[in-house]
Amino acid sequence: MNPGLIDLILFSEKRKAFLLFLREGPKSSKEILDQLQVPRTSILPQIKKLKEQNLVIHEDGMYRLTQIGEIIVEKMKPLLETLDVFEKDEEFWIDRKLSSIPPHLIKRINELEDYNLIEPDLSHAFDLNPEFIKYVSDSSRIHMLLSYFHPQLPILFLELAGKGIEISLVLSESVYSRFAEDFGKEGEEFLKMNHTGLFVLDKKATEIPAVIVASDNIMILGLFNENGRFDRQYLTSFEPDAIKWGEELFEYYMGMARETQACRRNQRLSE
């Protein structure tokens, strides 16, 4: 693809919207004008440029993509979605350690396109973010990875498990040590339940996210910044593609984790 064609496709919102609309199939002039909500005199010059580059043809009163156009637009969609992800909160992404996301999921980061960013709540500076608590509490199944410690988390896990929520936890070794040392009683109560599991990720050389939550209805992601700090900013999404993406990220690290002895012992007792 020559630079002129790249400019043609990417540097006009009208042309991008028009091409993506045609991805659904041939469209009439009326359908195009109704969808794009632009004057005919505004869109026709853009369509003319796309026709000149053999991306679009007009036959029997219908506009459609050419074969070349179909190939390009199919590849164009994930690129535009990826740009949307990073442009939505540029300052956030610039300062994140993306190396904790494996390459096969970085390539699909466009699946997080419809996300929201939870900012730290200054009125709860020393507490867990209320939105975070609400989202995980509304789930019936939670897969969660944690590599940062917060003293309110053990109680939260116990409360959630007490409601019958199925919980699988993967903790970094340092977080697990804090939990075991300071919240041993809560940990024992947590693992007595037959719908809980606790795993430890002891690969110290592996960079991991601060938080991954993949539940039946939400994905939550927290990443360390370049200074290695977690500033309690969370990405959240209720979209099925994002939840699946989060589940795969959790499973990636789950595959490196070991089940705790207490968890195995309690499983044998419940059999």
Q: List, for residues 79-96, the tens digit of each pLDDT value.
A: 888 989 999 999 999 999
- Mark whether 104 and 177 lie in a shared domain: yes
- Average pLDDT taken over every residue of the chain: 86
Q: Indicate the number of domains in the chain.
A: 2
Q: CATH number of the domain at 196, please.
A: 3.30.870.10
- The verdict on residue 87 lying in a domain is no
- Mark whether 60 and 169 lie in a shared domain: no
- The verdict on residue 90 lying in a domain is no
pLDDT at 191 over 90: no
The distance of Cα 234 from the centroid of its chain, to the nearest Å, equals 10
Encode pLDDT of 226-257 as tens digits: 888 998 899 999 999 999 999 999 999 999 99
- Mark whether 59 and 117 lie in a shared domain: no
Residue partners of 65: CB distance under 8 A and separation at least 6:
19, 22, 23, 55, 56, 73
pLDDT at 125 over 80: no
Burial 195-208 (b: 16+ CB within 10 A, else e): ebbbbbbeeeeeeb
Q: What is the pLDDT confidence band of residue 5, given thresholds at 50, 70 and 90?
A: confident
Mean pLDDT across 118-128: 72
pLDDT at 203 over 70: no
pLDDT at 271 over 70: no
pLDDT for position 1: 44
The residue among 271, 121, 128 whose CA lies nearest residue 213 is: 128
- Mark whether 120 and 155 lie in a shared domain: yes
- The verdict on residue 11 lying in a domain is yes
- Mark whether 33 and 165 lie in a shared domain: no
pLDDT for position 63: 94
- Mark whether 39 and 151 lie in a shared domain: no
Among residues 50, 80, 110, the one where a domain terminates is 80
Of 5-19, 30-44, 166-180, the least confident: 5-19
- The verdict on residue 85 lying in a domain is no
pLDDT for position 28: 93
Q: What is the pLDDT confidence band of residue 154, given thresholds at 50, 70 and 90?
A: confident
Encode pLDDT of 213-225 as tens digits: 999 999 999 999 9
Q: What is the pLDDT confidence band of residue 268, given thresholds at 50, 70 and 90?
A: very low
Mean pLDDT across 150-177: 89
Residue with the larger pLDDT of the pair 128 and 108: 108
Report the distance separating Cα 6 and Cα 10, nearest Å.
6
Token code pair at residue 170: 């993967």
pLDDT for position 195: 87
Which range marks the domain in which residue 37 is found? 3-80
Among residues 52, 80, 108, the one where a domain terminates is 80
pLDDT for position 220: 94
pLDDT for position 245: 97
Q: CATH number of the domain at 55, please.
A: 1.10.10.10
